[in-house]
Amino acid sequence: MELYADYQRELDAIRQTFGYDFLALALVEPAEQQYVIRWKYAAGNRNERFRRIVLKSGKGIAGIVFRTGKPVFIPSVRDYVRASSLFNYPIIQSEQLESLGAVPLWNDARVAGVLLGGFRQEHAMTPELMQALKQTAQSGIGELDGREVASQ
């Protein structure tokens, strides 16, 4: 339970520092023959639905970031995602996000999680906030060291 408190405390502090409406951490879990990604911790959440979201690599915001190892920046959900395909992005729907960024969380040169910062209004996620989110992830969160390259 101490690990939960550490991740949760860090998320609360990051959210307060940068002013995100919603901040969440998804972690990768091994499943039979593949990986699944689950949103484990959140700050500013409207409900607990995020905990029930399970994504395969390449699906949803967290799945895309996990598979590619690259950030996703969506200044306007309305401009980026067609209404007919919103069901592919359950975190956007359940938290009513309109603007967001998500970055990979590296650990020992592998993507081990995804950090998502979002807002409930369009264009609130700026390139500057996106850069801050990337730097936060590179600094490491909890047990995740943030290193993309294996240390020699």
Task: For residue 39, count other CB atoms closer than 10 A to its CB.
Answer: 27
Amino acid identity for residue 17 in this structure: T
d(CA 27, CA 6) in angstroms, rounded, equals 15
Integer angstrom CA distances of residue 116 from 29, 45, 80, 135: 17, 12, 16, 13
d(CA 146, CA 17) in angstroms, rounded, equals 19
d(CA 17, CA 41) in angstroms, rounded, equals 17
pLDDT in tens, the chain (152 residues): 445 558 899 999 999 999 999 999 999 887 666 778 899 999 999 999 888 888 776 788 998 999 899 999 999 999 988 888 888 899 999 999 999 999 999 988 888 899 999 999 999 999 999 999 999 999 888 778 777 776 54
Short-list 152, 150, 143, CA closest to 41: 143
pLDDT given at position 94? 93
* Tokens representing residue 88 in the block: 């592919």
